Amino acid sequence: MFKGHPKGLYALALANTGERFGYYTMLAVFALFLRANFGLDAGVAGAIYSTFLGLVYLMPLVGGMMADKFGFGKMVTIGITIMFAGYLLLSLPLGGDTFAMLAMLAALLFISLGTGLFKGNLQVMVGDLYNDPQYAAKRDSGFSLFYMAINIGALFAPTAAVKIKEWAEISLGYSSNDAYHFSFAVACASLILSIAIYYIFRPTFRHVEGGKAKKGEEAAVVDTLTPAETKQRVVALCLVFAVVIFFWMAFHQNGLTLTYFADEFTAKSSEGIQSLLFNVWNLVLVIVGVYAGFSVFQSEDKKGKFISLAVLVAVVAVLVYKALNVTGSVSISAPIFQQFNPFYVVALTPVSLAIFGALAKRGKEPSAPRKIAYGMLVAAVGFAVMAIGSVGLLTPTAQAAAGDAATFVNPNWLISTYLVLTFAELLLSPMGISFVSKVAPPKYKGLMMGGWFVATAIGNWLVSVGGFLWGGISLTVVWSVFIVLCLLSALFMFVMMKRLESATK
């Protein structure tokens, strides 16, 4: 699984892991912070949240255009510096008045601009590592590994956000609102780690950093496509961009309506074996067990197989011991549910690679556009789970007024939803990024990767639809909106499939 990839992949993936850990630590509590600190209602908080997400994914268009002219590596470095300034400003406890609101909005602008310079360009560099014929066949699996690394950072983010906030409240005596800023400060430290990794291992990927060609030198970009071929590829990419808008609109409800559901409709405690799921270290043990299990079959020597088997047995023994000796209950904080998506991504990536690897050997692996279409269908199933779990529940407005008569559901509804949505994400996101890096005309690579993020940005702006629906409308209707959008998007992909697949030939 890890063999046959360029060394630069692991360096760039680890650099992104640090940055994503900080980003998702901030994001895990951001919507709740807006409502608690500034007294905003669900709709307004959702509008700010989705606008920020939109800017985060819109700015890579600017970053891509700048990188096409000045180089990807330079933009990555500048981006981290600007992000650091934004997180530092956001971590200051300034209260809840107008000045504090303006400072927060300025911080969000810095973070979004810095992310725009960093994120897309880093991914273009990953794609360019696979332009070497030696690695070309590994492009899709390489992006799956890269995506897995992102989610390792995201896995620990919700726990870090909750624990650092609790520590600030209990140990340091900060108010609940001011304690949120300690969660935001974690991002500053993570960025320092990220840039350190980038520069320490820079020699492994320096050749794909790009830069403006000096006078007299051969042009840095070689484009052998005809104008017609270039147009065909750009049109194909734009069609994919149109579809992913609605995926991200639905998927990023994890930080908005799904978090509202966790906060307002989900049981506040868990007991028995289920309670083990709310300790991130138990999830890490499961991940170690999964990878050890795959290593038993994939190791090329007996020693490697034996070590992997020993690790697997040890992990199973620890988990069984914990399950047999679990007592009492654990409290559940709404942001903690956001750990399940990255957990599933990391745990299921080797499963995904094994399945598609087996299909590839038999010549039956679906194309990237077809995987994206399947991803939209699976996303619809994820929200169908939420619709079923919400049958009979009050509207959010009625739930808030119900007091002791309020009804709460088992956490398994959200845990199951995140599992299904993660299957959709694995089919769509890493495959989509790989598709862009492969199909984009060479001279427009930065711009086209920016286009992917623009589509994501539009989807994120539309996330606010969920916030405005959250109130007096039946929850089943809320989730059904996303079901219909995902189904229509999948249908559109299948209708345009021949045109999309022809662009990759």
Q: Please report, for the domain that includes residue 428, its CATH number.
A: 1.20.1250.20
CB 34 within 8 A of CB 108: no
Task: Please indicate, yes or no, if residue 74 is contained in any of the structural domains.
Answer: yes
| SS3 assignment for 244-259 | HHHHHHHHHHHHCHHH
Count structural domains, the chain.
2
* Backbone φ, ψ for residue 222 (5° rounding): -110, 120
Q: What share of the chain is helix, strand, coil (3-state, %, to 5)?
A: 80, 0, 20
For residue 87, give the DSSP letter.
H
Residue type, 483: I
Are 283 and 315 part of one and the same domain?
yes
* Element housing 81 (H / E): helix 72-90
Task: Please indicate, yes or no, if residue 221 is contained in any of the structural domains.
Answer: no
CB 483 within 8 A of CB 158: no
Per-residue confidence (pLDDT) for residue 276, from 0 to 100: 94
Are 288 and 152 part of one and the same domain?
no
CA dihedral 243, 245, 249, 255 (to 10 degrees): 120
Residue type, 5: H
Q: Which domain holds residue 310?
A: 273-329
Which residues neighbour 327 within 8 Å (Cβ) at sequence distance 6 or greater? none
Per-residue confidence (pLDDT) for residue 222, from 0 to 100: 56
Are 378 and 323 part of one and the same domain?
no
User: In whole angstroms, what is the distance from residue 458 CA to residue 7 CA?
Assistant: 34
Helix (H, G, I), strand (E, B) or coil at 329: strand
**String of DSSP letters for 455-470:** HHHHHHHTTHHHHHHT
Task: Please indicate, yes or no, if residue 344 is contained in any of the structural domains.
Answer: yes
CB 208 within 8 A of CB 9: no
Q: Which of 455, 464, 451, 457 is nearest to 65 (CA)?
A: 451
Are 29 and 149 part of one and the same domain?
yes
For residue 409, give the DSSP letter.
B
Are 496 and 373 part of one and the same domain?
yes
Task: Please indicate, yes or no, if residue 223 is contained in any of the structural domains.
Answer: no
User: In whole angstroms, what is the distance from residue 45 CA to residue 33 CA?
Assistant: 9
Per-residue confidence (pLDDT) for residue 1, from 0 to 100: 64
User: In whole angstroms, what is the distance from residue 48 CA to residue 54 CA?
Assistant: 10
Per-residue confidence (pLDDT) for residue 176, from 0 to 100: 84
Per-residue confidence (pLDDT) for residue 109, from 0 to 100: 94
Q: Which of 176, 199, 204, 208 is nearest to 67 (CA)?
A: 208
Are 322 and 201 part of one and the same domain?
no
Task: Please indicate, yes or no, if residue 219 is contained in any of the structural domains.
Answer: no
User: In whole angstroms, what is the distance from residue 461 CA to residue 57 CA?
Assistant: 10
Cα first-last separation, the chain: 26
Domain boundary, last residue among 283, 306, 329? 329
Helix (H, G, I), strand (E, B) or coil at 226: coil
Residue 227, token pair as written in the block: 């104008």
User: In whole angstroms, what is the distance from residue 82 CA to residue 65 CA?
Assistant: 18
User: In whole angstroms, what is the distance from residue 263 CA to residue 337 CA?
Assistant: 10
For residue 130, give the DSSP letter.
T
Judge if pTM exceeds 0.75.
yes
Task: Please indicate, yes or no, if residue 141 is contained in any of the structural domains.
Answer: yes
* Backbone φ, ψ for residue 219 (5° rounding): -55, 140
What residues of the chain score a pLDDT lower than 70?
1-2, 211-223, 504-505
User: In whole angstroms, what is the distance from residue 54 CA to residue 255 CA?
Assistant: 13
Per-residue confidence (pLDDT) for residue 223, from 0 to 100: 62
Q: Which of 494, 165, 476, 136 is nearest to 335 (CA)?
A: 165
Task: Please indicate, yes or no, if residue 218 is contained in any of the structural domains.
Answer: no
Are 337 and 480 part of one and the same domain?
yes
Task: Please indicate, yes or no, if residue 494 is contained in any of the structural domains.
Answer: yes
Q: Which of 285, 334, 282, 339 is nearest to 154 (CA)?
A: 339
Q: Pick left, alpha or beta for residue 133 (phi over 0 → left; psi -120 to 50 → alpha; otherwise beta).
A: alpha
CB 432 within 8 A of CB 369: no
Q: Which of 24, 199, 31, 198 is nearest to 111 (CA)?
A: 24
Domain boundary, last residue among 329, 344, 374? 329
Which residues neighbour 14 within 8 Å (Cβ) at sequence distance 6 or greater? 149, 197, 201
User: In whole angstroms, what is the distance from residue 184 CA to residue 86 CA?
Assistant: 10
Per-residue confidence (pLDDT) for residue 215, from 0 to 100: 41
Which residue in the block uniquely carries the two structure tokens 């049109």?
235
Are 171 and 293 part of one and the same domain?
no
Signed CA dihedral, 121, 160, 342, 105: sign only: negative
Residue 124, token pair as written in the block: 């273009």
Per-residue confidence (pLDDT) for residue 219, from 0 to 100: 42
Residue 106, token pair as written in the block: 């300025």
**String of DSSP letters for 262-316:** HHHTB-SEEEGGGGGGGSHHHHHHHHHHHHHHHHHHH-SSHHHHHHHHHHHHHHH
Are 337 and 320 part of one and the same domain?
no
Are 464 and 357 part of one and the same domain?
yes
* Backbone φ, ψ for residue 269 (5° rounding): -145, 160
Tell me the Cα Rg of the chain: 23
Helical segments of 403-463, H only: 412-439, 445-461
Residue 213, token pair as written in the block: 């060609």
Are 303 and 378 part of one and the same domain?
no
Per-residue confidence (pLDDT) for residue 214, from 0 to 100: 40
Are 322 and 177 part of one and the same domain?
no
* Element housing 5 (H / E): none
